């Protein structure tokens, strides 16, 4: 078998205005079948993808925000969110969905998938990858 590589999906765009956010999610779900070490990064307008209370009924687009809460079932459990990007947009962690995964190594305890990081820590996360895919 091939070795496991570290993949980072970088999300920097708001949902709905362009197709990038939804396409990123599609690729993450497809990629999850390949048993790699997957992380997601949310920075700049990408933090808007994770907000609570999205309702797309009147714009004729699929509301894909609930899909982020299903990522844990595909063993995608590391969602890095940049604190400065939230602050610049008047948001805090409380404005984001509660996204959890079940830790199979800890009696399936529910744990938060979102990891709040500083801009400098986000740079470290990016520098620690084998492959970086941007959306």
Contact with other proteins (CB under 8 A): which of 1, 16, 43, 110? Answer: 43
- Which residue stretch of 7-15, 28-36, 52-60, 65-73 sits at the interface with other proteins (rule: CB under 8 A)? 7-15
Cβ-proximal residues to 21 (8 Å cutoff; 6+ apart), any chain = 11, 13, 14, 15, 46, 49, 64, 135
Q: What Å distances lie between residue 56 and 35, 37, 87, 91, CA to CA?
A: 32, 32, 25, 20
- Rule CB under 8 A: say whether 123 interacts with other proteins: yes
Instruction: Please report the DSSP string for 94-129 in residue order.
Output: GGB---EEEEGGGTTEEEE-EEEE-HHHHHHHHHT-
Q: Which is nearer to other proteins, 101 or 135 (CB)?
A: 135
- Which residue stretch of 56-64, 70-78, 89-97, 116-124 sits at the interface with other proteins (rule: CB under 8 A)? 116-124
- Rule CB under 8 A: say whether 20 interacts with other proteins: yes
DSSP for residue 132: E
Q: Which is nearer to other proteins, 5 or 111 (CB)?
A: 5
- Rule CB under 8 A: say whether 10 interacts with other proteins: yes
Q: What Å distances lie between residue 34 and 28, 86, 130, CA to CA?
A: 10, 31, 15
Q: CB of 115: closest distance to other proteins in angstroms?
A: 16
Residues that bind other proteins (CB under 8 A): 10, 12-13, 20, 43-44, 119, 122-124, 126-127, 129-132, 134-135
């Amino acid at each position: 078998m091939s070795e496991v590589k570290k993949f980072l999906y970088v999300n920097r765009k708001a949902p709905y205005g362009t197709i990038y956010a939804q396409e990123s999610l599609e690729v993450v779900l497809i990629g999850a079948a390949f048993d790699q070490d997957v992380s997601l990064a949310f920075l700049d307008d990408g933090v808007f993808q994770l907000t609570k209370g999205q309702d797309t009924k009147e714009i004729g687009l699929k509301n894909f925000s609930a899909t982020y809460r299903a990522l844990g079932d595909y063993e995608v459990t590391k969602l890095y969110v940049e604190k400065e990007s939230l602050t610049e947009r008047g948001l805090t962690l409380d404005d984001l969905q509660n996204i959890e995964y079940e830790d199979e190594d800890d009696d399936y305890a529910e744990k938060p998938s979102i990891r709040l990081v500083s801009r400098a820590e986000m740079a470290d996360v990016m520098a620690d990858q084998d492959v970086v895919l941007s959306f």
